[in-house]
Amino acid sequence: MENVLLSRGFPRTRQHARVRGYQGNWAVPELAERRSSSRFVRLLVDLRESQSLNFQPQRPPLLFPRAMGRVSGLVPSRFLTLLAHLVVVITLFWSRDSNIQACLPLRFTPEEYDKQDIQLVAALSVTLGLFAVELAGFLSGVSMFNSTQSLISIGAHCSASVALSFFIFERWECTTYWYIFVFCSALPAVTEMTLFVTVFGLKKKPF
């Protein structure tokens, strides 16, 4: 009887049946292969659905606010126009003689020349002081990312650079400098001081 059972492929014991079930039965590896193939198909379907929905991976949070990124192009423009105005003002210190003579009559006394010279030097010195105020607010970050202040500063200093270039080469009268001073130096400095009060006094954000 035992030989008959063995000849027909029946296992001898339950333990031998378990071993043969894992080793000799081909249904187990076929089931594993079907499961792996079904998982692969599901993965392909998920990838296609994500592509059809224009899936985008999550980006890490920004280190700075988005407002800084929008106005970041104004920062170098403001710095360059500020430096250009500063260079022209420093140049005017050594080439102010022709402008002083332009605002004097043909015959003038040394006292009249000295009076006009002192006024122009005083105006240029005050301009340098206002430059210090603007640079302090800009480099400290108070107004660096403020779009309104940046636009005012760029417009004022760009206009001042062009106007002072004509002031030097065309030998305009020294009294004309006061108009350039008011609109191109005093105006951005006043708005800069307002931002100082807003940030440090009222404790508000500068942008």
In a domain, 59, yes or no: no
Residues 90 and 46 in one domain: no
Task: Give a yes or no: residue 178 inside a domain.
Answer: yes
Give 6-23 as a DSSP string: HHTT--SSHHHHHHHHHH
Long-range contacts of 192-201 (CB under 8 A, 24+ apart): 192/133, 192/134, 192/137, 192/142, 192/143, 192/149, 192/153, 193/133, 195/137, 195/142, 195/143, 195/146, 195/149, 196/137, 196/142, 199/142
Does residue 185 sit in the same domain as residue 92?
A: yes
- Give the pLDDT score at 89: 97
Asked if residue 172 and residue 97 are part of one domain, the reply reads yes
Contact 103, 173 (CB under 8 A): yes
Q: Identify the pLDDT of residue 95.
A: 92
Q: Is 109 found in the same domain as 188?
A: yes
Q: What is the spatial distance between Cα 159 and Cα 173, in angstroms, rounded to a whole number?
A: 18
Domain span at 157: 85-201
Question: Do 101 and 195 fall within a single domain?
Answer: yes
Kindly state whether residues 95 and 196 are assigned to the same domain: yes
pLDDT at position 205: 75
The reply to whether 40 falls in a domain is: yes
**How much is the pLDDT for 5?**
45
Distance of CA 81 to the CA centre of its chain: 17
Entry pTM:
0.64
- Which residue stretches of the chain have pLDDT < 70? 1-72, 206-207
Q: Which residue stretches of 140-206 are H helix?
A: 147-169, 177-181, 187-196
